[in-house]
Amino acid sequence: MWHNVKKQTLSSEARLAKIERDKEKIHSYNKLKDEIFKIRNEGSHTVEFLNKLTDLLGLNPEFYTIWNIRRETLSSLFHQHQLDSQSTLEDELKFVMVLMKRYPKCYWIWNHRLWCLFQLGKDANWEFELGIVSKLLSMDERNFHGWQYRRVVIENLETHDDLENLKINLQEFKFTSSKVNSNISNFSAWHNRSKLIPKVYHLVGKLNYQDEPLFQSKESLLLHELTLVNTGMYVDIDDSSIWVYLEWLLSDCFFIDELSNDKYHDILNDQLKIINELNDLEITDNGKDNCWCLKAMIIINELLDNRSAVRPLLEKLIDIDPLRRGRYIDQLDSF
């Protein structure tokens, strides 16, 4: 599967030269592979065998069967006390790190890293892992494996001590703040934030923890997040992340269940006003409404039960957002 790779057109000489070069590579790769399967079928697990597996994985880390054979072999060597598991697994983590740098998107390498850490059990250094993944996410801020790995690391840093867990998750919350502050379009960070807010709030309440003013009430949290989103709208009005996050803030029962009806309506009306003003600026600057502003106004008006305000907004969207015309027509019809 190729992603983001420009098509290469080789001249016929270059093509022939590649075929010539590949001959030797294919030969040694297949020789190594055949040897490995032969040894596996004989069931012999030795340290020399591990070296062959290292060589093959260096050539092709996507070869999942070889990772399986490696784990089988390691487990068997530990079991027979031919290798010390702790030092071997620590070396294994270094080996994996080298491969991760060369192949940052290969799923199997991450998978094997976790296996090593789980084998290490209480000797695993999850703080070190957190450092690695923070560095990775500073280089590639939406790397899917990176964010997933980060959540696994956090799960493993968590203990039975609620206060410790609160601190870990507060630190994670602050990590997402720094990510969205440096780039408002980092949806991966917004996403993680949506998971952390209820979690941290719950722990703060359970421990009656006073040092974090932001988490003392859902209302203060909501207002804080709305300010953040409103700032984001002015930074980049066409960034979808903030609008998706706004809808969550204004409609999720976590935030609104404890608000009085009056307070909720005030908040909705405030947001409507802010978005209206922003949209007016867009009309002045670009001569037309902004799609995201209109979509947000629809959501808020529906939450306010202002159904009569929704129809003209949908009619405008049919004009200015032709890609999703069919959706707006369906929504109009449902009136």
Partner 1 sequence: MTLLSKKHIDYVVNLNSEMSKQSYEHWLSEHLRMNGLYWGIMTLVTLKSLDSLPRQSIIDFVLSCVDKRSGGFGAYPQHDGHILSTLSAVQILSILGALDELDKESVIKFTKNLQLPNGSFQGDSFGETDTRFVYTALSILSILEGLEEELVNKSLDYLKQCENFDGAYGMRPGAESHGAQVFTVIASFAICNRLDLVNDKLSSWLSERQVKNGGLNGRPEKLPDVCYSWWILSPLAILKKLKWIDLSKLEQFILDCQDDEGGVSDRKGNQTDVYHTCFSLTGLSIINDELYEGNKYDMDSIDPVYCMPYSATKTFKPWPYKS
Asked whether the beta carbons of 275 and 309 are under 8 A apart, the reply is no
Q: Can you say how many angstroms the Cα of residue 67 is from the centroid of all Cα atoms in its chain?
A: 25
Nearer to partner 1, 183 or 276 (CB): 183
Q: What's the rounded Cα separation, in Å, for the pair 244 and 260? A: 24
Nearer to partner 1, 241 or 279 (CB): 241
Q: How far is the CB of 69 from partner 1 (least distance, A)?
A: 8
Asked whether the beta carbons of 74 and 47 are under 8 A apart, the reply is no
Buried b (16+ CB within 10 A) or exposed e, 201-240: bebbeeeebeeeebbeebbebbbebbebbbebbeeebebe
Q: How far is the CB of 34 from partner 1 (least distance, A)?
A: 9
Measured CA distances, 18 to 11, 13, 14, 23, 187 (Å): 11, 9, 6, 8, 42
Which range binds partner 1 by CB under 8 A, 171-179, 185-193, 222-230, 270-278?
Answer: 185-193
**Under rule CB under 8 A, residue 6 binds partner 1:** yes
Q: How far is the CB of 211 from partner 1 (least distance, A)?
A: 26
The single-letter code of the amino acid at 55 is D
Which range binds partner 1 by CB under 8 A, 5-13, 89-97, 256-264, 272-280?
Answer: 5-13
**Under rule CB under 8 A, residue 290 binds partner 1:** no
Q: Identify each DSSP E strand in 146-188 by its residue range.
A: none
Which residue from 17, 18, 86, 235 is in contact with partner 1, where contact means CB under 8 A? 18
Asked whether the beta carbons of 40 and 76 are under 8 A apart, the reply is no
- What is the footprint of partner 1 within residues 303-332 (CB under 8 A)? 322-327, 329-330
**Under rule CB under 8 A, residue 118 binds partner 1:** no
The residue whose two tokens read 């084998």 is: 119
**Under rule CB under 8 A, residue 174 binds partner 1:** no
Which residues of this protein are in contact with partner 1, per CB under 8 A? 1-8, 18-19, 22-23, 25-26, 29-30, 37, 59-60, 62-65, 67-68, 71, 111, 114-115, 142, 144, 147-148, 151, 185, 187-188, 191-192, 194-195, 239-241, 244-245, 247-248, 252, 322-327, 329-330
